[in-house]
Structure 1
């Protein structure tokens, strides 16, 4: 610990933070303070692992979440500096494979729009959060994200755009995002304890990494909450760093890219990230009833604002139980970064910096931590009371429309991936990403999971086709209802091959059945577009164009002899006429 003389104007920081650890029941807090090109403090308080009382140190590896974004913005800026990208021309000029939901966005969105949260596209966090998608997979799913505001009309925070920029960096540089950031930023800066996944941190030779603990929602007991995925490498928020490394990062930022007498990052790149974009929303200030800073403007990967008459640049980071704030005063060249373990004490990541800046600037004290503690206690109490008042509101005496086994299957959404519904005796189970929970009947064809403290509560509404089978499952994800389509179980390739051939209607019209390259059954009629037949069950299929029209192949003694076709009003049998009857090796047609 440093003496008060080592921290001019800041007072006894150690006693101040240690008091907050006790009063807020914080598992651990880390603080680093830099001035000009000197580290005044890099110190952990409390524990990095509350269960084993292991100390929080200046080298403890801590997930900085969205403070990753500035690394991604600087990496993109380096490619702009080299003439390989531009901030303000349509990004599709350089990356034609990028597709947005709206063609007008394809023609207009720039790299600055993506890094500045100005696309008008909402978050869609559940596409990337805890998924197994690569940055390339996420890049390809931008096209499923529907805008809700005109381009550049307002800030809508969007992690997916940073995932896409990460892949753009790979496409342009030839290196994966993490390798480019390591080679171009971390290694030159000497940031040896900055890694890219929580799994990397767990493999640290020193074993010095933060463990996520937080208070339970019903009481003040600390419990270990689910940690970030080991292999989640995200340009939007996966970097794990130490206080020592963040101190070097902040010194470099404050000094326009220079550190240790060397210009490591071009000043023009850093200045570009600070260029004013759109105003930051003030909803939280309205809720709190007071303001820390004023007139927040987001640039790229960070924002600027006014703190008690002084220019401040900052960015926060939040993952479950891990909260960070990296900030500095550009004119005074004072930087304060705070790491906090625990969701119940997350406000300290902001309040500590504001308290210490006030001290450093010689301003009258405002007890930010007391104000936020009162709000945090009130919020926790109100939410606990709300849960206690909650009662089931399902329609009584209703039953599912089908037997439970009929709901079992895999359902797929083009952006969100797969939802798995399984059965465990008389109980359905919900499987989505890392979550596996019981699924209980609520009413009609709606089933809910318990409101689990670790994974939350989920609700699934099963939908039926025109033929009465369960073929879709709807959930509310992000900003809208997401419909997952049931994945059919196809007949094996040998049986599918037997279906290929020519069939004749009672009116003498020849119908050809083919196999596509992907193994789909294609129905071809003279003068009509090919119709894809979707598996319905066994040798039954339905029309993709008209789901209430079904088909069934007639199998007699191992040979397909006919194709029955029916809708709600008529049933017609088409006779097999080609020479392939009896063969078992028909070839697919492409």
Structure 2
């Protein structure tokens, strides 16, 4: 089973901003007789789905006052079952705001004596500035000792811990506690609070904290304290429960291949805090309305005001210079991005898991929110574009419809080594095969094409099946490995030059999936490609270093020179 993980406009005068606010406050039916998505906009959205090869879409337009508007397009299954407002989607990273909210609810419980679970001796209370080492004594430890001692809960929920994603370090049977315990073996990319760097593992950490001090599982805590009060009766963390409803969508790759369910039940527990919510447009409209009402639902506080203020307001800068003149720079709070779109304050979060792309947003000064869920992988661009066009229509921002965004380059590229100035490997390719180990990532066993062990024969056979279905001949100098992780099933290494390989974390389907039994390979979601530089000493390979997973120059690369020291991950050769 394969996995892989997993992220856009500024003008208008202040008087017009007030006018658009009043359109939802006083008279939400003044535009298009109360309908935001007209037949013209619906046809335009369908055109986007056709261009981007998206099988199904479900959206909600959520006014602060009045009833939500729901629309759906296309299918949710290979059998042609239609997508509806009740279709269930993985929320992916849209789930992060649930995690931050749950932590805030736990804090509020302690403040008001509703929770009497003893805190560690170092703590008399828990708040956003509580040090992680104090709330998880004996468990929390980062490789950077300063960050380990000084990181607080707000730091780790705002992606400024200094630790990068390291998304390929956790496996399908790991528990949240396992994931937290191995962080001490993972190299930081930056100093604490120096640089925003997205990290799913920190939300897993917070889910573990909630489970440790709430006397119940993280998933049951969210269900009891958020889903139930909001009436989100279809929402769950369990893929099995979602499947039993008969309303769970299937997912497709960016190129249109059907994928199996991306999470097992064990994976769903591991990923619950970072991206585990499964929900529908109907249920998520209630979640967005809660944020439009600053944590209140039917005059009852569901999430404390401190959650609303801290989570939705920017604490770190995620985009320091916008490439789009219609967008401002972008900040990040705790589970929410925040920027300006055409002069309107926009709070949102995107989500991606294999086969699915999601977005939830709200405009706090305009009293409207939008959710957009697509059952296609790597579709963040069209999903964001559709969301923006719905906002345009809801607030009457443009005299003409905003243009469609079309894919202008292939979304997936095969690994092609440079055609010129290629230096041969220092040793025979077989010398680079073998077992390598890293304490944070575990062991990896690379096979050359001539590998004769039963393990290597199985791995090589799987790659041969998918390569036989490709139009171009595979590169001759390759290394192969099985890599069963949450976001991958295998690793492919293609020789680039010298002792350097391009490494792709990928997922193989040697027998295809669904009705199409043609073998295929996919690398959906997130950073799936890196560079591995092998080090040879005294005629033997001693290990390799990975760089490129972070996606930007790291502190280690700036301050170290040897491969072993500057790599984002270093693997020692052990066999």
| Fold match (TM-score > 0.5) | yes
Aligned pairs (5 A) from 1:228-377? 228-231=262-265, 232-233=267-268, 234=271, 235-282=273-320, 285-286=322-323, 290-343=324-377, 345-365=379-399, 367-370=401-404, 372-373=405-406, 376-377=407-408
Instruction: Classify the secondary structure of the residue corresponding to 2:76.
Output: strand
Q: Is residue 101 of structure 1 aligned with residue 131 of structure 2?
A: no
Distance 1:55 1:82, change over 3 A: same
User: Does 2:569 match 1:482?
Assistant: yes
Partner of 1:567: none
Which residue is equivalent to 1:509? none
Question: Is the partner of 2:142 in helix, strand or coil?
Answer: coil
Task: Answer yes or no: is the 8 Å Cα contact 1:400–1:444 preserved in 2.
Answer: no
Check if 1:154 corresponds to 2:182. Answer: no
Which of 142, 167, 170 in structure 2 is aligned with 1:125?
167
- Are 2:200 and 2:274, in contact at CA under 8 Å, matched by a contact in 1? yes
Distance 1:208 1:47 in 2: 11
CA contact (8 A) 1:117 1:155 kept: yes
What is the deviation of 1:76?
0.8
Select 1:192's aligned residue among 233, 239, 254.
233
**1:22 and 1:334, CA in 2 relative to 1: closer, same or farther beyond 3 A?**
same
Taking the aligned partners of 1:208 and 1:256, their CA distance within structure 2 comes to 30
CA distance in 1, matches of 2:426, 2:533: 14
State the match for 1:63 in structure 2.
90
Q: 1:432 aligns with which of 460, 463, 483?
A: 483
Question: Which residue of structure 2 lines up, in the alignment, with residue 113 of structure 1?
Answer: 155
SS in 2 for 1:268: helix
Match of 2:119 in 1: none
Cα distance in structure 1, aligned partners of 2:146 and 2:426: 47
Distance 1:296 1:389 in 2: 35
Change (3 A) 1:366 1:110: farther
Report the equivalent of 2:118: none
Structure-2 residue corresponding to 1:521: none
Residue of structure 2 equivalent to 1:499: none
- Report the secondary structure of 1:294's partner residue: coil
Structure having the higher strand fraction is 1
Counterpart of 2:217 (choices 176, 181, 203) is: 176
1:454 maps to: 522
Does the C-alpha gap of structure 1 residues 305 and 418 become closer, same or farther in structure 2, counting only changes over 3 Å?
Answer: same
Relative contact order: is structure 1 or structure 2 higher (C-alpha 8 Å, sep ≥ 6)? 2
The residue that corresponds to 1:418 in the other structure is: 443
1:26 aligns with 2:38: no
Q: How far, CA to CA, are the matches of 1:440 and 1:153 in structure 2? A: 34
Task: Tell me how large the CA RMSD over aligned residues is.
Answer: 3.5
Please report how far the alpha carbon of residue 472 of structure 1 lies from its aligned counterpart in structure 2 after TM superposition: 4.4
SS across alignment from 1:195: coil
SS in 1 for 2:253: strand
- The alignment partner of 1:163 has SS state of helix
Q: Is the 8 A contact 1:340 1:346 kept in 2?
A: no
Judge which range, 361-370 or 242-251, deviates more. Answer: 361-370
* CA 1:91–1:457: 2 relative to 1, 3 Å: closer
CA distance 1:5–1:103, change in 2 (3 Å): same
Task: Check 1:136–1:465 CA distance in 2 against 1; reply closer, same or farther (3 A cut).
Answer: farther
Q: Which residue of 2 aligns with 1:214?
A: 253
- The alignment of Structure 1 onto Structure 2 pairs a total of residues equal to 463
Give the CA deviation at 1:176: 2.5
What is the CA-CA distance between 1:390 and the residue it aligns to?
5.4
For residue 78 of structure 1, what is the aligned residue in structure 2? Answer: 105
Question: In structure 2, do the counterparts of structure 1 residues 176 and 484 end up closer, same or farther at CA, with 3 Å as the change threshold?
Answer: farther
Change in 2 beyond 3 A, CA 1:444/1:277: closer
TM-score, normalised by the number of residues in structure 1: 0.69
| Structure 1 counterpart SS, 2:319 | coil
Give the direction of change, closer, same or farther, for the CA distance of 1:318–1:366 in structure 2 (3 Å limit). farther
Structure-1 residue corresponding to 2:130: 89
Query: Matches of 2:497 and 2:314 in 1, distance apart?
Result: 51
